[in-house]
């Protein structure tokens, strides 16, 4: 599993006529999806915006700047595999509230 996390505004809504599904759109989602491809298996990768919002109780290693044509240069951080990746996702949600 590879997880990419970014924070920012999104557009959300229900799509479908017979079978409904909830979906998110926007640049925030695009960035999270793009950085996910830079993650190694079983890791969590976050942008600088997310990293600066965390309480730094988790271990991250800075990666080289990711240069993209459509999204510009992205500063990314990878979660150290010393602790379960689910803890990072929980921390992001806790810090957002």
pLDDT of residue 56: 74
The model's pLDDT over 79-94, given as tens digits with 9 standing for 90+, comes to 866 555 556 666 666 6
- Where residue 85 sits, what CATH number does that domain have? 3.30.70.1230
Q: What pLDDT does 42 receive?
A: 85
What count of Cα atoms within 13 Å lies in the side-chain half-sphere of residue 86?
0
pTM equals: 0.72
Alpha helices in the chain (DSSP H): 27-36, 48-53, 85-96
**Torsion over CA of 65, 71, 76 and 78, rounded to 10 degrees?**
-120
Domain that holds residue 35: 2-96
Number of structural domains (the chain) is: 1
pLDDT, tens only, 32-71:
999 998 888 888 999 999 999 887 777 888 888 888 888 8
Query: How many other β-carbons are positioned within 10 Å of the β-carbon of residue 32?
Result: 22
**Residue 36 to residue 30: CA distance in whole angstroms:** 10
């Amino acid at each position: 599993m590879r997880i990419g996390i970014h924070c920012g505004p999104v557009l959300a809504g229900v799509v479908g006529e017979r079978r409904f599904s909830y979906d998110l759109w926007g640049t925030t989602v695009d960035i999270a999806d793009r950085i996910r491809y830079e993650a190694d298996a079983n890791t969590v990768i976050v942008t600088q915006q997310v990293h600066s919002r965390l309480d730094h109780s988790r271990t991250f290693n800075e990666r080289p700047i990711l240069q993209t044509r459509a999204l510009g240069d992205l500063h990314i951080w990878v979660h150290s595999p010393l602790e379960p990746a689910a803890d990072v996702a929980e921390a992001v949600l806790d810090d957002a509230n």
